[in-house]
Amino acid sequence: MYIIPAIKDMKRLIIALSVLYCFASACSSAPEVTGKIDIYEDFQSKFIASRAVRVWTPSDYDPQKKYDVIYMHDGQNLFDASITWNGEEWGVDETLARLTAEGKIRPCIVVGMDCGTLRYEEYYPSKICQAIPEGCLPEGFTPLGDEYLRFIVEEVKPFIDGKYSTWGDAAHTFVSGSSCGGLISSYALCEYPEVFSGAACLSTHSNLWNPHTDKDQTPAADAYREYLRQNLPADDSHRLYMDCGDKTIDAGYDKTQEAINEMISELDWPAGNGKEGYMYRFFPGHAHTEKDWNSRFEIPVLYLLAK
Q: For position 62, which CATH number holds?
A: 3.40.50.1820
6 with 121, same domain? Answer: no
74 with 4, same domain? Answer: no
Lowest average pLDDT, out of 153-157, 189-193, 205-209, goes to: 205-209
Lowest average pLDDT, out of 38-47, 108-117, 216-225, goes to: 216-225
91 with 169, same domain? Answer: yes
The backbone region for 57, taken as left when phi is positive above 0, alpha when psi lies in -120 to 50, beta otherwise, is beta
Tally the domains of the chain: 2
pLDDT in the model for residue 159: 98
* CB contact at 8 A, 165 and 65: yes
pLDDT in the model for residue 83: 75
Closest CA to 70 of 180, 179, 201: 201
199 with 60, same domain? Answer: yes
Most confident of the ranges 2-6, 87-91, 207-211, 289-293: 289-293
- 154-186 in b/e burial notation, b at 16+ Cβ within 10 A? ebbbeebeeebbbebebebbbbbbbbbbbbbbb
281 with 148, same domain? Answer: yes
Q: pLDDT exceeding 90 applies to what percent of the chain?
A: 74
239 with 286, same domain? Answer: yes
Task: pLDDT band for 271, please (50, 70, 90 cuts).
Answer: low
pLDDT for residue 25 is more than 70: no
Report the alpha-carbon distance of residue 252 to residue 255 in Å, rounded: 8
Q: How far is CA 191 from the centre of its chain?
A: 18
pLDDT for residue 52 is more than 90: yes
pLDDT for residue 27 is more than 50: no
Lowest average pLDDT, out of 5-9, 39-43, 253-257, goes to: 5-9
Burial of 126 (0-12, 13-18, 19+ CB in 10 A): middle
Q: Which residue segment(s) compose the domain that 61 sits in?
A: 35-305
Radius of gyration, CA atoms only, the chain: 23
Helix extents (H) in 102-253? 119-123, 126-130, 145-150, 157-163, 180-191, 218-231
- Omega of the bond leading into 107 within 30 degrees of 0 (cis): no
pLDDT for residue 45 is more than 70: yes
88 with 193, same domain? Answer: yes
Report the alpha-carbon distance of residue 205 to residue 219 in Å, rounded: 14
19 with 132, same domain? Answer: no
Q: Is the dihedral of CA 108, 113, 115, 120 positive or negative?
A: negative
Closest CA to 115 of 172, 58, 54: 54
Across the range 251-264, mean pLDDT stands at 96
* CB contact at 8 A, 136 and 213: yes
pLDDT for residue 118 is more than 50: yes
pLDDT in the model for residue 47: 98
8 with 66, same domain? Answer: no
| Residues ≥6 apart with Cβ < 8 Å to 103 | 307
pLDDT digits (tens, 9 = 90+) for 60-84: 999 999 999 999 999 999 998 677 7
| pLDDT, mean over the chain | 88
C-beta contacts of 274-282 below 8 A and 24+ residues apart: 276/239, 277/236, 277/238, 277/239, 277/240, 278/239, 278/240, 278/241, 278/242, 279/239, 279/240, 279/241, 279/242, 279/303, 280/241, 280/242, 280/243, 281/241, 281/242, 281/243, 282/243, 282/244, 282/245, 282/246
pLDDT in the model for residue 8: 43
103 with 228, same domain? Answer: yes
Task: pLDDT band for 24, please (50, 70, 90 cuts).
Answer: very low
* CB contact at 8 A, 166 and 190: no
9 with 80, same domain? Answer: no
174 with 26, same domain? Answer: no
